[in-house]
Structure 1
């Protein structure tokens, strides 16, 4: 690596961080999660503007492999943090409501996505039609668990009943999504060495029955969490990276190994230690992930989208939004969750964010997506994430207006009864909240 290349690399990383932080801050000013601005930074630094001239000048070919390496490190640590964040008790959530919402949030968009895939095949050829169809169904079914958690915190919903259901549903959907993506990866991603994928089964057994007990002894000796020293953090990160390298060697994507290692980190008696490791990992990914956004943006070119591309984008958005929102809403309502709570949950589950970009990156690497379709799917990820905040505000505002009308109608009724008119309007099922509606009052 020459001195000139090193200078360009340092300059590029600084530029990426400036763009990501700046646009991320602007996103928060308009009540959007920072990831929206960070993804937009990656798109703006890509070939969309000036026919790629700016991108080629700022990020020459000799520097891009190094940026790709940094990006892969960032996404591996991000996936480790996701695995670390998911708990068994979270997956249980609120019993039947969580199960119904998770099934609706997964099955409905997946089935609609399969239909979408057959439409897209007319213009986007792929070497493996079956894997492509499954992948598109998967891509419109995903929910961004980390972005959803951030939105819940920002909106003051994290400690409410619906917040717990949303986290449990998103965690379940993400686990199913990663498992399905692993299956797709296994079917087309091992090149000529498909037998290597079979090693994932004994590898899972080693992680569950060897690595997890060893981690428990090291991180929680005598049932008490070890001090969160730099050595402890280094050991955990080393384990995540080795696990990522192992799954990559098996023909799987490295994100699966990092995610799996996060899942096997002990939960019992180590909540504070896990929170500290998660925070430290977050500090690293906050610096590394913006590089991933730019690397992802290198493949996004919206300059020649054309009329047919716009029609495809509209179809993708309709399938993604209606499938996710409708499936979640009706799944939740099937268990008599109040309408407002079901709508809130549906809006939250429509968030895709960075998780969608990671999945799309795998599809691009496997050759299941071409450049134009990848670009359209990235736009879908951004639009559906941007929609979440305004949808939540609209739902909450509509509910507040209904409550105000209900209070006003009640006051008029009381006045009429006191006046001795004897007027008693017919009972309106929407006028008085049911027991389930009162349970959703914290929202």
Structure 2
């Protein structure tokens, strides 16, 4: 072994020496070649030529930035950074992430960047480069609409068809009619030249009636409404809304692009034939494929390529027919096999690249097209306010009135109106289509983009206002123990501890489990998968422990804020979570844990453990009189878990116990270990320690846990009877 190491070292040394010799000889040849060239040209190297060389190099570098590929890469980088930053700021203001992305696109356009730094704007987004940006964004939108189509659950539409279809169609018809009436006042001065009134009014009607199903789904999840009747009805109405609106949009595009009634009729007939073909022939074939590709192992690269080729082919066909590529991609998603695993796998492949790269490019392109400065002419701001009024009143009143007519109470009716008024990304897609085919002018396009921004922004505050107005009708707050976990295994450990913290004779052992996915832009199918895999093991364990378990799940852009909101909204006796070291520190209370503890004042437990094993021995560390207050809790935990409890008294605090607690120790035969040797802790499966003690006694950070053991840091104050 040693001889091989020596031989290997000598081999490397010889190779390096040989390479350096070759380089040296090559340099001698290079010098000779340069001398020959210099004698032939006899051009003296002066300072001026060196300066010129630097200038030429700088010019080449500057020109290189304007080559198509480097410029496109720079645009992608700037757009992604801007949308991420403004999106995060939007989340901090308790708004959907998409609000920040839309706003970032507007800020990168002529409305701000072009106004304050026109040279930088022209350098970053020259007019000649917008074609590449548009093509890339359209490719991203094709895959995004494919995912939106897959998220559309037709079973839900059938199950709630009675009230959902009434509400969704009312939420389309009223704003559609109001939009067509509004077109009468805007057509003369703001419609593009050569566009007939029918096309303009139809497009204004669709622009007013659209609902952003993906954004609405995120809002429903964020507000914990997914499993409520209101949330289910809102999602159903939005799905029906989208389906109807996209069919109407296809008809309008066919009418506009065909250039006449007969050609438009031919386009519509071809579109109907294609939809029938997809529904009756392609869908059964896709369902057969869905029975084969049901797991990751069967989901080969070839299968992925074929499935991703499907929306591209469908988009190409609908674009060739004359409706729009996005309609074909949406239809391809709708007819995909009704297999959650397959849809989730496909969504995971598509949505990351689509939402992280291509959609921000679409927002940037929309922002470039949105010129707020154009509205300073004449009475255009008055026209914008009229557009906003029509949009809000039509969608909000139409949805709320229909919901009330179908038997819903006022709170649910108004909440549904607020949710259906959400436009967001889908509105921008429709507006860009109208702009591309020449139906919308720059002024109308800018008005409608601002309208989409305002109506999406107002959804959250409107729902909060409705909740305050109907505060007496709130559901009963949560109670019992709340546990929040990230990893599934940590959820099981926390549930075991939660079961042990209840009094032995307690009849209402209620536990609420909270799991948040730190990304609000995952698809609905992916969210359902995460929710199912997170809570299935907990439901099984809760039955074994005799616990009443309720669950809360949602994708989140601010996990700490949403956990705090859940803690503050419920009447929980204790909050449990796992310790998490931050990226820059080994402190188990670092990052979000410290924020949660500082901004909440209830009972809390932090579990520090790699993996908690069987708990047979529990040790309560008593460093101060406050730690003595954990005795009853420790006794309950040891009894419920069937573990042996010991007290470790390194500071001689046990004599300070009350007579009642001394009698309890004597009755339960709880041993007391004195002395300050922490070696005793290595025998414990679970160590209990007061949170204040952990913060004050810095030497405790050196405790070493045995494999499978855990440390539970507790902030606890007994409830007064």
The TM-score with structure 1 as length reference comes to 0.86
1:7 lines up with 2:70 in the alignment = yes
**Match in the other structure for 2:150:** 84
Instruction: Return the alpha-carbon distance in structure 2 between the equivalents of residues 95 and 258 of structure 1.
Output: 25
Q: How does 1:305-316 map to 2 (within 5 A)?
A: 305-306=375-376, 308-316=379-387
Alpha-carbon displacement from aligned partner over 1:403-430 (angstroms, at most 9, x marks no partner): 69xxxxxxxxxxxxxxxxxxxxxxxxxx
Shift of 1:225: 6.3
**Match in the other structure for 2:351:** 282
Shift of 1:318: 0.5
Q: Secondary structure at the match of 1:252?
A: coil
**Match in the other structure for 1:99:** 165
Q: Secondary structure at the match of 2:91?
A: helix
Shift of 1:125: 2.9
1:184 lines up with 2:252 in the alignment = yes
Shift of 1:128: 1.7
- Higher RCO (CA 8 Å, separation ≥ 6 residues): 1
Q: How does 1:189-228 map to 2 (within 5 A)?
A: 189-190=257-258, 195=266, 198-221=269-292, 227-228=298-299
Runs of 4+ more than 6 Å apart: none
**Match in the other structure for 1:431:** none
Deviates more, 1:335-344 or 1:375-384: 335-344
Please tell me whether the aligned partners of residues 244 and 254 of structure 1 are also in contact (alpha carbons under 8 angstroms): yes
Q: Secondary structure at the match of 1:199?
A: helix
- Match for 2:394 among 323, 333, 337? 323
Structure 2 gaps of 5+ residues are: 1-62, 476-721
Shift of 1:325: 0.6
1:292 lines up with 2:355 in the alignment = no
Instruction: Return the alpha-carbon distance in structure 2 between the equivalents of residues 71 and 30 of structure 1.
Output: 28
**Match in the other structure for 1:69:** 135
- Match for 2:469 among 385, 388, 398? 398
Deviates more, 1:379-388 or 1:212-221: 212-221
Alpha-carbon displacement from aligned partner over 1:136-175 (angstroms, at most 9, x marks no partner): 1111011000000000111101111110000000011111
In the alignment of these two chains, the number of paired residues is 401
Alpha-carbon displacement from aligned partner over 1:52-110 (angstroms, at most 9, x marks no partner): 54432211233222111110011111111111111111223534321331122111111
- Match for 2:434 among 359, 363, 372? 363
- Match for 1:40 among 103, 112, 137? 103
Which structure carries more helix by proportion?
1
Q: How does 1:401-440 map to 2 (within 5 A)?
A: none
Please tell me whether the aligned partners of residues 251 and 323 of structure 2 are also in contact (alpha carbons under 8 angstroms): no
Shift of 1:359: 0.4
Q: Secondary structure at the match of 1:122?
A: helix
Structure 1 gaps of 5+ residues are: 405-443
**Match in the other structure for 1:237:** 308
Please tell me whether the aligned partners of residues 191 and 251 of structure 1 are also in contact (alpha carbons under 8 angstroms): no
Q: Please identify the structure whose Cα radius of gyration is greater.
A: 2
Instruction: Return the alpha-carbon distance in structure 1 between the equivalents of residues 473 and 273 of structure 2.
Output: 56
Give the 3 Å change call, closer, same or farther, for CA 338–196 of structure 1 in structure 2. Answer: closer
Please tell me whether the aligned partners of residues 189 and 251 of structure 1 are also in contact (alpha carbons under 8 angstroms): yes
**Match in the other structure for 2:326:** 255
1:19 lines up with 2:19 in the alignment = no
